[in-house]
Chain A
Amino acid sequence: MIPMDWTYGLIGGLMIGAAAAMYLLVNGRIMGASGILGGIVDATGPSWEKGLFIAGLIGAPFVYGLVFGFPHTNLTSDPVLLILGGLTVGLGTRMANGCTSGHGVCGISRFSVRGIIATCAYLGAGFVTMFLGGQLLGVF
C-alpha cells in the first residue's frame, strides 16, 4: 500500500515535469523558478514571457485551492526564520544560477554536471542544516 502523500507527490511531480517540458519544447526556455523571478526582480532580463509565467505560478494555485481546497503550509510564523530563509534562498539561488527546478529538475534530466553538483550541494547543506537546527538545537 503506497501512502497517499507519495501518490500526490508523483502526480504533482509529473505536472511539474510536464510544465518544464512544455516551456522547453514550445518556448525554448529552461523552466527555472529562481532565474525567471530573478530576471524580473534585478531587471537583467524582464519580459512578458517571464511575467506571465509568474502570474500563472501565483494565480493558478489560488484557483486550484478555491476548487479543491487549499493545502496545508505548516509555514513558520517566526519572522527571523522567514527573513533568514528568504534572504539565503534568494541570494544562494542567484549566485548558483539555479534552484530545485532549474538545476534539479531540468539539470539532472539533461545530465548536466553543474545541475547535478548544485543539487548535491543544496541537498547536502539542507540535510546538515536540518540535523543541526532541527535535531540538535530544536529551532525548527
Chain B
Amino acid sequence: MRGVFALLAGSVFGVGLSVSGMTDTAKVQGWLDLFGNWDPTLAFVLGGAILPMLLAWRVAARRQRSALGSFIPAPSDPVIDRKLLIGSGLFGFGWAVAGLCPGPAMAVLSYGGADAWLFFGAMAVSMLGHRIIPQMWTGART
C-alpha cells in the first residue's frame, strides 16, 4: 500500500509540475528575473501548492500518525547553519543558471531530450558527492 500511494503521489506531483509550467525553464528564469521582465506565474504555483499543505499540517497535528501508521515527521530543530545557507545559495544559483530544480528536473526527463538527461546526470553525481565536497569548503561534517 505504501508503494501504491508513493507512486500515486509521485504521479500527481509530476503532472502538477508539468501543468504548472515548472518544467518550462523560460517561466522559471522569468520568475527569477525580478529586476527585468518578471513573470509572476510561479507565485501562483507556490501559492496553490501551499494551500492544501496548510490544511494537511493541521490534520497531521491532530492525528500524529499517518493513515498507514508511521509517525508524522517531527519539526526539524530551527538550526540555521552555514550548510543550510551555503547549500541554498548554491541551489538558487544553479536554479537560475539552467531553470530547473530537482522535481521538474525529473518530471521533464521524458520530454526534455538529451539536455534534460545531462542536467539530471550532473545533479545525481553531485548528490552522490555531497558528503565529501562540503567538508572541504566549510569544514562542516555532513
Given contacts A13-B47, A17-B49, A20-B53, contact A100 B101 (CB under 8 A): yes
B107 in contact with A61 (CB, 8 Å): yes
If A96-B88, A129-B32 touch, does A37 touch B45 (CB 8 Å cutoff)?
A: no
Contact A89 B100 (CB under 8 A): yes
CA distance A121 to B95 in the complex (A): 12
Minimum CB distance partner of A49 in chain B = B6
Complex partner residue of A95 from B10, B83, B102, CB under 8 angstroms: B83
Is A91's CB under 8 angstroms from B129's CB? yes
Asked if B25 and A74 make an inter-chain contact with CB atoms under 8 angstroms apart, the answer reads yes
State the main secondary structure of chain B at its contact with A: helix
A interface residues, how many (CB within 8 angstroms) = 106
Once the chains are docked, how many angstroms separate the CA of A30 from the CA of B87? 19
Bound-state CA distance A62–B69 (Å) is 32
Residue pair A82, B115 in contact (C-beta under 8 Å): yes
**Shortest CB distance A113–B (Å):** 4
Q: B115 → chain A, closest Cβ, in Å? A: 5
| Residue in chain B with minimal CB distance to A131 | B35
CB atoms of B102 and A99 under 8 A apart = yes
Provided the pairs A33-B101, A93-B91, A126-B96 are in contact, do residues A14 and B78 lie with their beta carbons within 8 angstroms?
A: no
Cβ-defined contact, B66 with A90, below 8 A: no
Q: Say which residue of B11, B68, B101 sits within 8 Å of A57 (CB atoms).
A: B11
Q: Which residues of B contact A16 (CB under 8 A)?
A: 12-13, 16-17, 20, 45, 48-49
* A82 engages B118 (CB within 8 Å): yes
Q: Is the CB of A57 within 8 A of B10?
A: yes
Residues on B with C-beta less than 8 A from A87 are 94, 122-123, 125-126
Distance between Cα atoms of A91 and B45 in the complex (Å): 25
Question: Cβ of A91: which chain B residues have Cβ within 8 Å of it?
Answer: 87, 90, 126-127, 129-130, 133-134
B interface list, Cβ under 8 A from A: 2-27, 29, 32-36, 39-57, 59-60, 63, 65-73, 75-76, 78-80, 83-103, 105-113, 115-116, 118-131, 133-134, 142
Can you give 22 A-B contacts (C-beta < 8 A)? A10-B44, A13-B20, A13-B48, A16-B13, A19-B13, A20-B56, A27-B2, A37-B106, A81-B97, A83-B122, A85-B119, A90-B126, A95-B90, A97-B83, A101-B102, A105-B49, A109-B57, A114-B80, A117-B80, A122-B92, A125-B92, A126-B92
> Which A residues form the contact surface with B (CB < 8 A)?
5-31, 33-34, 37-38, 41-42, 48-50, 52-62, 64-65, 70-77, 79, 81-97, 99-101, 103-106, 108-110, 112-114, 117-119, 121-131, 133-135, 140
